């Protein structure tokens, strides 16, 4: 479980569900994450065999990241968590701010 406890893993993995992406595309899709945290998370996902990097012999060089089969399987609980947050998040946010939930 410790390997999946990184809060940024779903943030980086989610946009890869749309297919292979270049580093710059992926960092924009990941939203409010620092460059350092983004790079660290992406490298960790590679070591965990959730993401594969492809280097193309072109000028200028092009590198894309894509989910492996295991990475695609991980999207199932990530999507489920996103749906749960969408449904329950507003009430939880209101409760933590001292407001009464709907």
Judge whether residue 69 has pLDDT over 60. yes
pLDDT tens, residue by residue, 10-65: 888 888 998 999 988 888 877 778 889 888 999 999 999 999 999 988 888 888 99
Query: How many domains, in total, are found in the chain?
Result: 1
Judge whether residue 102 has pLDDT over 80. no
41 found inside a domain: yes
Residue 88 has, within 13 A of its CA and on its CB side, a CA count of 7
Judge whether residue 101 has pLDDT over 80. no
3-class state of residue 56 by DSSP: strand
Q: What secondary structure does DSSP assign to 6-48, as a single string?
A: -TTHHHHHHHHTT--EEHHHHHHHT-S--HHHHHHHHHHHHHT
101 found inside a domain: no
Check which CATH number belongs to the domain holding 77 and give it.
1.10.10.10
**pLDDT at residue 6, as a whole number:** 73
71 found inside a domain: yes
89 found inside a domain: yes
- Residues of the domain holding 89: 2-96
In the block, residue with structure tokens 């000028």:
59
102 found inside a domain: no
């Amino acid at each position: 479980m410790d390997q999946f406890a990184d809060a940024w893993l779903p943030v980086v993995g989610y946009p890869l569900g749309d297919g292979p992406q270049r580093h710059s595309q992926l960092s924009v899709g990941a939203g409010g994450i620092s460059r350092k945290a983004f790079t660290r998370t992406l490298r960790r996902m590679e070591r965990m065999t959730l993401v594969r990097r492809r280097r193309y012999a072109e000028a200028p060089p092009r590198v894309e990241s894509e989910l492996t089969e295991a990475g695609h399987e991980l999207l199932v609980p990530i999507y489920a968590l996103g749906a749960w947050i969408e449904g329950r998040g507003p009430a939880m946010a209101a409760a933590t701010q001292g407001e009464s939930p709907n």
